[in-house]
Amino acid sequence: MAVPGKVTAFRLPPLPTIGEIIKLFRLRAQKQLSQNFLLDLRLTDKIVRQAGELTNAHVCEVGPGPGGITRSILNADVAQLLLVEKDARFIPGLKMLSEAAPRKVRIVHGDILTYKMEKAFPKHLKKNWEDEPPNIHIIGNLPFSVSTPLIIKWLENVSNRDGPFFYGRTQMTLTFQKEVGERLTAKTGGRQRSRLSIMSQHLCSVENCFVIPGQAFVPQPQVDVAVVHFTPLVQPKIQQPFKLVEKVVQSVFQFRRKYCCRGIEILFPERERLKKTEQLMMMADVDPTLRPVQLSMSHFSNLCNVYRKMCDEDPSLFTYNYREELRQKRLHKNTSYSEQIEEEEDEKNQ
């Protein structure tokens, strides 16, 4: 019997198991979509606990599939749960969960990469960026094929304070391949230090919570899975626009086994490459013989700040594309060679 005056926490009524849902609706993970189902509700509960206190929270679950994590979120007594699912096959099973939790679930059949997250939650939940994070969370067991482009998109949203971060410093709890999780959290000098390390850590506090063995999923992937928690920082560690930071970081890690100056070189056109590279490295006070993985966040901040000044002085620098110049050079070389052959043939025929 309930204690008088005490509100009872919401619990889902008895439902078919996730395995039974999969059989009932004849669901099968599609390899081309890199889908893997998590059937163990103890593990889905553990994932949801990494998000923190969810009582009366507003949650968006990305790609709920057959609804394992969905059940754990609902049992955490959230106020509202938004489900964004691209695969129509899962919608009937999710509607069954929605009916078991009246007025708590909203289902959107759509692609999270294009869904307008600025309209996902009530406006009154919005907080100032400097305040504590809003009572909004994003949770998802992401398909491997979408996880990296999606987190890059959301990191850009963090930088611009739009999308799901229109409401403030919205927290995210997401799954990735173990190797990607290690890249997201790798420290300076670590073997997995990469573009993802810098882009995520300069904008967020990133925690690798725990690893789920591959055999816990159906079908079993060939890799283990990491659960990673993100909390946007009040102040980014690199005070420059997202696209500029991404360009510098991407260039540096283009040649991760070489000295960092090799990657910096491709920020500049060939005609002034050596001079500009030397100038940038000197002004940023970065040792050109350091490897990319040895560069600290402070190093990258200095590099981005100096590159920004150089771009302000010469706006064409930012639009310069190393690969395009290389392509044009090869095209010109092939054209010149073809013209030479034609000239030789003409001479023979004269």
Same domain, yes or no, for 266 and 313?
Answer: yes
2 is a domain residue: no
Rg of the chain taking only CA atoms, in angstroms: 25
Residue 141, annotated as binding a ligand: yes
Question: Where in the chain does DSSP place strands (E)?
Answer: 37-38, 58-62, 80-85, 105-109, 136-140, 171-177, 204-212, 217-218, 225-232
270: number of Cβ within 10 Å: 12
237 is a domain residue: no
Select from 204, 224, 221 the least CA-distant residue to 213: 224
Same domain, yes or no, for 135 and 253?
Answer: no
120 is a domain residue: yes
pLDDT in tens, 195-243: 999 999 999 999 999 999 999 887 788 899 999 999 999 999 999 999 9
326 is a domain residue: no
Same domain, yes or no, for 56 and 118?
Answer: yes
Same domain, yes or no, for 275 and 308?
Answer: yes
- Of 232, 253, 288, the domain-final residue: 232
- Of 213, 232, 251, the domain-final residue: 232
Please state, in angstroms and rounded to a whole number, the distance separating the CA atoms of residues 247 and 304.
9
Residue 56, annotated as binding a ligand: no
Same domain, yes or no, for 225 and 294?
Answer: no
268 is a domain residue: yes
162 is a domain residue: yes
Residue 346, annotated as binding a ligand: no
Same domain, yes or no, for 178 and 58?
Answer: yes
- For the domain that residue 96 is a member of, what is the CATH number? 3.40.50.150
Same domain, yes or no, for 108 and 202?
Answer: yes
Please state, in angstroms and rounded to a whole number, the distance separating the CA atoms of residues 337 and 332.
8
Same domain, yes or no, for 73 and 154?
Answer: yes
- For the domain that residue 271 is a member of, what is the CATH number? 1.10.8.100
Residue 111, annotated as binding a ligand: yes
pLDDT at 348: 42
Same domain, yes or no, for 199 and 273?
Answer: no
- What is the domain count for the chain? 2
Residue 45, annotated as binding a ligand: no
197: containing domain: 18-232
Strand-strand pairing, 225-232 and 171-177: antiparallel
49 is a domain residue: yes
Same domain, yes or no, for 79 and 49?
Answer: yes
Residue 63, annotated as binding a ligand: yes
For residue 300, with 0-12 CB atoms within 10 Å meaning exposed, 13-18 middle and 19 or more buried, which class applies? buried
Select from 87, 86, 106 the least CA-distant residue to 97: 106
pLDDT in tens, 304-331: 999 999 999 999 999 999 999 888 888 8
pLDDT digit of tens for each residue in the chain (350 aa)? 444 444 557 877 666 666 666 665 566 655 544 567 788 899 999 999 999 999 999 999 999 988 999 999 999 999 999 999 998 989 999 999 999 999 999 999 999 999 999 989 999 999 999 999 999 999 999 888 899 999 999 999 999 999 999 999 999 999 999 999 999 999 999 999 999 999 999 999 999 999 999 998 877 888 999 999 999 999 999 999 999 999 999 999 999 999 999 999 999 999 999 999 999 999 999 999 999 999 999 999 999 999 999 999 999 999 999 999 888 888 877 655 444 434 444 444 43
Same domain, yes or no, for 195 and 151?
Answer: yes
346 is a domain residue: no
- Of 201, 232, 263, the domain-final residue: 232
Same domain, yes or no, for 219 and 252?
Answer: no
